Each structure stands twice: as structure tokens, then as C-alpha cells.
Amino acid sequence: MGRSYLGEFEELVLLAVTVLNTGAYGVSIAEELRQRANRTISLSAVHIALYRLEEKGYVTSEMGGATLSRGGRKKRLFSITTAGREMLAEIQEVRAQFWNAIVTPAQS
């Protein structure tokens, strides 16, 4: 059991990081989630998820460039690690297995 599992929200955040590729940071991720998942997203929740993911080793981060709208403050840019990708793939696989196992009445 030497591995951490992901919560649903964490998984979404991790996916968002992957999608955003190099431009993933708090605001952009929150924005991405709002658009795709169509639900209200709190910035602090995103941050907590990000820091947790980093502690678990699924993302890494570095301080990135400042923009004018941030009042010249730097942003922390996140990117997914190999472990993160593996984790996502694994989740996907497990889910797929389940979906395959479901006998949908419509098909029959």
C-alpha cells in the first residue's frame, strides 16, 4: 500500500494540470475546471489540492514569470510528473475495466 490514492477533486486538478501543459497555475487551473466541469470552484480548494499532489509526488512546481495583472507577483507553475501520469493512466484503466464489466441493458 505504498502509494497514495487520489480524491475525485484531486484527480480533476491533476487532469487540468496535464491539459494546461506549461501554463498550469492556481488561477488557470481553476478557470479550466470551471469551464470543463461546469461547477463553482474555490481557489483555495485548488491550491490545497495542488500542494497535496505535490507532497504525493504527482506534480512538481517552479516559480514562474510575473504578469501585470498579478501586481508583479510571481506565480507557481505546476507540471505533471511521470508518477502522476502513471497514476492517471491507472485510474483510467481501472475505470475502463469497470465500464466494460457493466452489462448495459440498452445493448442487449
Partner 1 sequence: MKNKNHISPPRWADKLFKLLCPPELFEELQGDLHEQFELDIDRVGVKAAKKIYTLEALKFTKPYFLKKRILTLKRAKSQQLKANTPKSPKAENRQPIALTIMLQNYLTTARRTLSRHKSYTVINVLGLVLGMSCGILIFSLVNYHVGFDKFHTKADRIYRVTSELHNETVIKYGNVPQPIGAAMRDDYSFVEKASMLISFGGSISFPSRKDNAKFSDGVSYTEPDFFGIMDFPFVAGNPKTALSQPNTAVITEELAEKYFHGENAIGKSFRLDNKTDFTVTGILKNLPENTDIRQQIYVSYPTISQTTPWLNTWGGIMSVTQAYVLLKPGTDANKADKAMASISTKYYNAKDAKTFKFHLQPLSDIHMNQEFDGAVAKSQLIALSLIAVFLIITACVNFINLATAQALGRSTEIGVRKVMGSRKGQLFWQFITETALITLIAFIFAIGLSYLALPYMNELLSTRVTLDLLKDISQPIFITCLLLVVTFISGSYPGLVLAGFQPIMALKGKLTQNQVGGFSIRKGLVVTQFAISQTLLIATIVVTSQMQFNSEADMGFKKDAIVILPVPETTTTKQSAMRARFSQLPEVEKITFLNVPPASPQNNLDTGLRYAGRPEDEKFNIFYKTGDPEYLSTFGLKLVAGRNLAQSDTTREYLLNETAIKKLGIEPEEAIGKNVNINHRSGTIVGVMKDFHNASFRQKIDPVCLTTRADNYSQCALKVSGRNLPVTLASIEKAWNETNPEYIYNYQFLDEHLQHFYETDQLMLQLMWLFAAIAIFIGCLGLYGLISFMAAQKTKEIGVRKTLGAGVGSIVWLFGKQFAQLLVIAFVIAAPIGWWLMNKYLADFQYHIDLNATIFIAAIGITFLIAIVTVGYRSVKAALMNPVKALRSE
DSSP output for 36-96: HH-S---HHHHHHHHHHHHHHTSEEEEEE---GGGTT--EEEEEE-HHHHHHHHHHHHHHH
Q: Is 39 a residue that touches partner 1 (CB under 8 A)?
A: no
Assess contact for 13 and 25: CB atoms under 8 A.
no
In whole angstroms, the minimum distance from the beta carbon of 58 to partner 1 comes to 17
Nearer to partner 1, 48 or 91 (CB): 48
In whole angstroms, the minimum distance from the beta carbon of 79 to partner 1 comes to 15
Q: How far apart are CA 71 and CA 75, in angstroms?
A: 11
Set of cell numbers at residue 6: 487520489
Q: Is 75 a residue that touches partner 1 (CB under 8 A)?
A: yes
The residue within the footprint of partner 1, chosen from 42, 82, 104, 107 (CB under 8 A), is 42
The residue within the footprint of partner 1, chosen from 7, 36, 37, 67 (CB under 8 A), is 67
In whole angstroms, the minimum distance from the beta carbon of 85 to partner 1 comes to 24
Q: How far apart are CA 21 and CA 11, in angstroms?
A: 15
Binding residues for partner 1, rule: CB under 8 A, are: 25-27, 30-31, 42-45, 47-48, 51, 63, 66-67, 69-71, 73-76
